[in-house]
Amino acid sequence: MTTRTKITVAVLGAAVAGALALVPLTDDGSGGEADSSADSSDVVLGTAEKEAVPSFTATDWVSYGDQVAVVRVTAEHERRDPDTDEEAGTEEDYLSRTVDLQVEELVWARSDAPALPPTVSVTADGWQLKDGAKKELGSPDSSRLEVGHDYVITFARFSDGAWSPLGSGGVLPYDHGRIGEGEFQGETGTADAYRSTWEERLVPGDEQPMAFRAAGKPAGSVQGILRSATPDATAARYFDLDPAARYQKVAGAGEPADTFCSVAAPLAVSEDSRHTPDELASVLTDLADLAGPAGKDASALRRYATSLEAGAGTSAPVDDTARKASVARIEQECGTEVGELRPTDTEADAGTG
C-alpha cells in the first residue's frame, strides 16, 4: 500500500465510517465553504475521497494508529509519475508531492507499536497544472502539510513498511503549540476559527472528531484523550495486521453471516432460479458445511452434490435417495418448497431418477 492511499467507493464503500461525526460534503466536495476559500486563495480544493482507514475520532486513532507525534515539515519535493508524464501536454495535469517530516515530540503510542523513525517522508496533496499555471491542490477538511508548519499527526505503519498519516482526519495543525493554529486547507488560520469549522460539522450523538475536541489545546491533551479512549473490539483482535487490513476486518464484522436458509433461499421454486449441475452441487456443498459434518441430513446433501458433479454433462443418474433426503432437509429446516431439487438449466436431467 502506498502512503496516504485513497481508494474508490467500489473497493471499500464504508472506508470513512470514522467520519460519521461530520456533516457530509456535497458530491463535488465543496460543502459550500470550499468554493469560497478556493476563490480567495491560490489553493484549489479537490473532491472529498474515500480513504482506506477512518481517522477522525479518538476511537479511530487508538484502533488503527501506531504513534502520535508533533512534527515539522522541513522540505517538499516534486514526484514525477512515469504514467502521468506520458500524458504530459494535456490541458490539465497533476503533479505529485512528497514532504519530509521531522519528529519533534512523541505524544502517544499504542502498546507494542513499532517505533516511529525520527524523520518520515510521506505523500501529500500536490499541484494542479492547467494551461501552463501551477496551483496548489488541497483536500476538503484536511491540511496540505506545508513547509515550515507544525502538525500533530497520528501515524500508522502499513504492510509495505512505510509510515504514513492514518488519514486526513489524523493531521491537526499545531503552530505556536496550539492545536488548530496553522495551516489548514492550504491557508493559515487560528485555533478558534479551526474549532468553529469543526463545530459546524458535528452531528448530535456521534463521536466528536479529534480536531474539535483538541482545538486550542497543547499536544499533551491528545495523550489524555487517547488514554481514555477504547479501541474497536474487532480492531483490537487484529493488531497484528496493518491498519488497512485491520479495518477491513472491522468493516466486515457488520455483514450478516450466511445461514443455512439464506444459502438455500435461491433454490426455492418461487425464485425460479436456474442452476447447472455444478452450480447446484456447489450450493448443496455449502449447505452441508453450514449443517455441520455430523448427521444424516448433512451426509445426504454431500452425497447428492457428489453425484451431480460426477454426472454433469452426462445422462448418468443421480443419487435419488440422497436427493429426496436433501429436499426433506431443506424444506423442514426453512419451510421453503424446493420441488424436485434438480438442475434447472439443462434438459439432460429431465426424467432422471
H, E, C per residue of 69-113: EEEEEEEEEEECCHHHHCCCCCCEEEEEEEEEEEEEEEEEECCCC
Per-residue pLDDT of the chain (353 residues; tens, 9 = 90+): 332 333 222 222 223 333 323 333 333 333 333 333 333 457 766 555 568 899 999 999 999 999 999 999 999 998 765 554 444 444 458 899 999 999 999 999 999 999 999 999 999 999 988 877 888 988 888 999 999 999 999 999 998 899 999 999 999 999 999 999 999 999 999 999 999 999 999 999 999 999 999 999 999 999 999 999 999 999 999 999 999 999 999 988 655 567 888 888 889 888 788 888 888 989 988 888 877 544 456 888 889 989 888 876 677 788 899 899 999 888 888 888 889 998 876 544 444 44
Distance CA 256, CA 218 (A): 43
User: Closest Cα to residue 7, out of 146, 158, 144?
Assistant: 158
Q: Residue 260: CB partners within 8 Å, gap ≥ 6?
A: 287, 290, 291, 333, 334
What pLDDT was estimated at residue 80? Answer: 67
What pLDDT was estimated at residue 254? Answer: 52
Cell digits of residue 208 = 466528536
Query: Dihedral through CA 30, CA 36, CA 41, CA 45, nearest 10?
Result: 0
Is the model's pTM score more than 0.85?
no
Query: Dihedral through CA 158, CA 219, CA 45, CA 18, nearest 10?
Result: 60
State the Cα angle at 184 between 183 and 187, rounded to 5°.
65
Distance CA 299, CA 313 (A): 24
131 φ, ψ to 5°? 55, 40
Q: What is the DSSP string of 248-262?
A: HHHHHHTSPPP-HHH
Are 37 and 188 in contact by the 8 Å Cβ rule? The answer is no
